[in-house]
Chains A and B, each alone.
Chain A
């Protein structure tokens, strides 16, 4: 009888299902995983060290590049940490704009996750649908900030600028002239009108994804009972966000430690019961619906309440360009802010937000300078991926891909 031995297999870093640059060293007993050793760090850019060499505001752009599918949420945590140290608070309208874009970001993230997760375990078409909706949301990003992905939109003391009154329209192309009217139909009003139109369409879209997946036999075979994490282990392993809620604990920083204006908004927190991949899928899908509802509330509020979107404090927020032309003091402040930046008082602060993937926190230490002395990024995915070994043990090789998918891994934030 031939001797059967465990063998070691390398997975990634160049593998479509590795979600970026995950390298897994798998010890296999036939098709079954005995041990998994994730090798991370292939995307390590030392963001935290880079941040120590740049004035506070210049680091906002790095935040977008951490978890590059939920850009503005990362910014929110960083900006909040600075605001905590400076002891300032953004104007209420800016807070609503931030919440609205946080939720847009959550939908963006979950849409990408859903499409990628589905394509990983065999459902081709979902990705095409989710990217259709992502396109509209990225247009919102672009209209507000000028960039489709790396928005660099939040600032300590508010947001970079107010929402535009006009939604950019498609220009006539040589291929699709006849379609132009239809494509521009919902872009006649302001950005808020466009977002409102989106929120009215979107629940129907989520229904469509659910039609494709929720009762799908193959989908259930690939996700039910896969990667089960008990609540006790989920807490012990430092899980947050949908990974924790999927195991049955209604822990959401938006409710439990409300920041910005979340305490004034109405929304529910979905939780799972089994703690498997399928539950986490259901949780995230429901989160998209709840986010949609939050966005609607924000749009209504923002339409009714115009006002300033930045603090009127030249020590932190640069003055308007018009003011600079007339006012010597404004010019000096502008010059100081853009050459040196503002100094942040000595101290330390930890600010966390409910990021689409879990708790995203920024720990900031300042020694009174215009640059952070130390910045630590608490990325949700890092804790989740460290539990990979525990989650895949005893599963089949194909389930590894399903578990990578359900953890919603993005290497920008894990490797930092």
Chain B
């Protein structure tokens, strides 16, 4: 279970293949470029030192509003709180590319978990499919395509999976409104189900607040 051994082996075997290695919360994350993804995954899957036989999970993530809050907590002493209904998306602290694909691997033999993160810039949302390495990627990649619009090169069947037939847009992107764009209802005149623009407006019930907490920053 010890992740130190895994970390050593990664450093040894995959030197230069990954860009960054992060240990946090007793979990290991490596950041890989799209170019090296296949090489790295291939080694992780088939090299007996690693033997990551299972792709447990694959998901997309959109960092567009990372670090953006609805309230200025520091200013509040002087200005008071607003209702937090007018969103300001100006000070995202995110420096890396907007999108990322996250792979969660599990090695049954060594009892290790590993997370791989591959950053993708918005302009070029294409990443090689890992389907030849792990068969379970089939639906996970469809899902990430459906929800984030990430294209998996080499995937044989990249259709939408969770959203409606004929759905437009990628709903889990941060700039997609929570209420969506269209709603369905039965129209008694036309005697069929019709799509129409949503009649509800999204609103914020509890504003998102980011607070610096000294309890967590001390030891870092």
Query: Which B residues between 36 and 59 are near A, CB-CB below 8 angstroms?
Result: 53-57, 59
A284 CB within 8 Å of chain B: no
Q: Are B136 and A237 in contact (CB under 8 A)?
A: yes
Interface residues of B (CB under 8 A from A): 1, 24-25, 27, 29, 53-57, 59, 61-62, 66-67, 69, 93, 102, 104, 108, 111, 113, 115, 134-136, 138-140, 143, 160-164, 171-172, 178, 204-213, 215-217
Cβ contacts under 8 Å, B62 to chain A: 374
Q: Which 4 A-B pairs have the closest CB atoms?
A: A238-B136, A386-B139, A345-B216, A41-B162
A44-B162, A235-B54, A383-B136 known; A367+B210 contact, CB < 8 A: yes
A343 CB within 8 Å of chain B: yes
Q: Are B206 and A238 in contact (CB under 8 A)?
A: no
A60 CB within 8 Å of chain B: no
Q: Are B108 and A378 in contact (CB under 8 A)?
A: no
Query: Among A50, A238, A369, which residue has its beta carbon within 8 angstroms of that of B208?
Result: A369
A370 CB within 8 Å of chain B: yes
Cβ contacts under 8 Å, B27 to chain A: 348-350
Q: State how many angstroms separate the Cβ of A148 from the closest Cβ of chain B.
A: 27
Q: Are B172 and A373 in contact (CB under 8 A)?
A: no
Q: Are A238 and B56 in contact (CB under 8 A)?
A: yes
Interface residue stretch chosen among A123-131, A156-164, A357-365 = A357-365
A44-B163, A54-B206, A367-B67 known; A374+B171 contact, CB < 8 A: no
| C-alpha gap A312/B210 in the complex (Å) | 23
A41-B163, A84-B25, A343-B209 known; A359+B56 contact, CB < 8 A: yes
Query: Among A46, A53, A235, which residue has its beta carbon within 8 angstroms of that of B172?
Result: A46
Cβ contacts under 8 Å, B160 to chain A: 41
A65 CB within 8 Å of chain B: no
Q: Are A369 and B54 in contact (CB under 8 A)?
A: no
Q: Are B213 and A343 in contact (CB under 8 A)?
A: yes
Q: A249-B108, A343-B210, A361-B104 are in contact. List 4 more A-B contacts (CB 8 A).
A: A41-B161, A345-B217, A370-B210, A383-B139
Query: Which A residues between 308 and 348 are near B, CB-CB below 8 angstroms?
Result: 315, 339-341, 343, 345, 347-348
Q: Are A257 and B25 in contact (CB under 8 A)?
A: no
Q: Are B54 and A238 in contact (CB under 8 A)?
A: yes
Query: Among B53, B54, B67, B140, which residue has its beta carbon within 8 angstroms of that of A368?
Result: B67
| C-alpha gap A358/B29 in the complex (Å) | 23
Closest A residue to B108 by beta carbon equals A251
| C-alpha gap A292/B62 in the complex (Å) | 43
Q: Are B209 and A370 in contact (CB under 8 A)?
A: yes
